[in-house]
Amino acid sequence: METAFTPWQSMGGGALIGLATVLLMLTLGRIMGATGILSGVLLPSAPSDRTWRLAILLGMVSGPVVILALTGQMPDVDVPVSLPMLLLGGFIVGVGVTFASGCTSGHGICGMARLSRRSIAATATFMISTGLTVFVVRHVLGV
């Protein structure tokens, strides 16, 4: 499997995530963690709390529509695994998020920026696990 690294798009996306994080903290005093935002929509919460969470989720999934509007075509998305593997991966991520009390966006962006030792440890664990998973999948299993 070939890795397609896109440095300019990655840097632009990272800058937009950082800007959104800062704006959420400045305007609402809230930390931008994707799983916390999603759980706040799915579980009962105050209507005013649900509104900003829905707006962020809509922004997260509307990217392809923006690309369609700008270029006239949907972006190519290649998912090289089966649906059962996607579901299994989602379940594993959900378990990890539960044990880590947050996700990569909450710990990696907000927590590390606040120099939280817990977030630094969680992010290091995420990164090490990711590196080991890629190594095993590509070099041990040969997928």
Both tokens of residue 111?
């927590």
Count of domains forming the chain:
1
Q: In this predicted structure, what is the pLDDT of residue 68? A: 92
Q: In this predicted structure, what is the pLDDT of residue 1? A: 59
Q: Please write the tens of the pLDDT for every residue from 39-58.
A: 888 887 777 788 889 999 99
Q: In terms of C-beta density within 10 A (0-12 exposed, 13-18 middle, 19 or more buried), how is residue 11 classed?
A: exposed
Both tokens of residue 53?
């969470």
Q: In this predicted structure, what is the pLDDT of residue 48? A: 79
Q: In this predicted structure, what is the pLDDT of residue 34? A: 85
Q: In this predicted structure, what is the pLDDT of residue 96? A: 82
The closest of 57, 34, 17 to 103, measured between CA atoms, is: 34
Q: Please write the tens of the pLDDT for every residue from 102-113.
A: 887 788 888 888
Question: Given the structure tokens 């990711």, which residue do they identify?
Answer: 130
Low-confidence ranges of the chain (pLDDT < 70): 1-3
Strand, helix or coil at 32?
coil
- Which domain range does residue 90 map to? 7-140
